[in-house]
Amino acid sequence: MSGFTEQRQRMVDRYKRAGYIKSKRVEEAINAVPRELFMDKRYRDYAYHDQPFPIPGDGRQTISAPYMYPVTYEPLKLQPGQRFLEIGTGSGYGAAIARELVDSSGLVVTVEINPETYRFARENLTKAGYNDVEVILGDGTLGYPELAPYDAVSITASTPDIPPPIYQQMAQQSRLIAPVGNPGHYGQDLLLYERFGAESSKRKLMSVVYVPLIGKYGFPG
Ligand code: SAH
């Protein structure tokens, strides 16, 4: 099998052709992060396969399929200097890509509810050299008011609806992406919300299958 760097480049080319990667910025961010460092050891060889893989936790955690990151980050349009909140740290891979996009002048806050997954993500981010991501152990349905407001939010677990505290922590001009709908194989709607002051819009990007969001405004754990 070819090396990880070559596999990563091939994945990026594949996602450009498929239309998942549209911008140079997202392309460079994905190219900058070694996904193999965010995989469970057992699955490391499959880091560049187009599917999710289990990670440490209580059996419900995964590193999302790699195309979900461009699918999420292209419409969020993250810019250097922006403040980004991720709910569901998982492996830490999504936080690392966000860090590349907002760069060191911005802020990445990511919240994980499972202690074992939280430890896994912290280790991965440190190994990969991302020492300035704020990784928080807690219930992400409450957002993280201490560092609000956020210019962009990504919820990476299926949610019955957008948790009210998260709305409150969004900047006047901001975007949010979340898979909304019941967990399970029938899938959810990946929704993009855009807020312009008092106005907002919502549109469906695609159907997806994510693990459930638990916690106060999530599904019963
Ligand atoms: N973004 C991740 C994938 C996340 S999988 C990555 O890049 O690897 C979804 C994660 O959401 C799981 O780790 C799960 O434990 C976590 N989760 C579920 N409910 C949560 C909640 N209320 N708050 C924070 N994290 C939650």
Minimal-distance CA residue to ligand 1 atom 17 = 88
State the pTM of this model: 0.97
Residues 2, 23, 64, 201: which is the catalytic one? 64
C-alpha 154 – ligand 1 centre gap (Å): 11
Domain ranges across the chain: 3-208
Mean pLDDT of the chain: 96
Most informative mutation of 110, 112, 177 for ligand 1 (most atoms within 8 A of CB): 112
Instruction: Say how far apart CA 139 and CA 86 lie, in whole Å.
Output: 12
The residue assigned the tokens 């961010």 is: 29
CA distance linking residue 110 with residue 178, whole number of Å: 14
Both tokens of 193, joined, read 């919300």
Q: Which fold has domain 3-208?
A: Rossmann fold (3.40.50)
Contact 94/62 with Cβ under 8 angstroms?
Answer: no
Other beta carbons within 10 angstroms of residue 49's beta carbon come to 13
Q: Which atom of ligand 1 is nearest to the CA of 217?
A: 22
Any idea which residue has 């050891």 for tokens?
A: 41
Atom of ligand 1 nearest to the CA of 93: 7
Give whole-number Cα distances, 99 to 14, 127, 209, in Å: 23, 15, 25
- Asked if the model's pLDDT at residue 2 lies above 80, the reply is no
pLDDT one-digit tens code per residue, 51-63: 999 999 999 999 9
Specify the pairing of strand 199-208 against strand 134-137: unpaired
d(CA 40, CA 15): 23
Q: How confident is the model at residue 1 (pLDDT cuts 50, 70, 90)?
A: low
Percent of the chain at pLDDT exceeding 70:
99
pLDDT reading at 137 higher than 60? yes
If phi > 0 it is left, if psi is from -120 to 50 it is alpha, else beta; for residue 63 that is beta
pLDDT in tens, 150-193: 999 999 999 999 999 999 999 999 999 999 998 776 789 999 99
Residue 211: Cβ within 10 Å count: 19
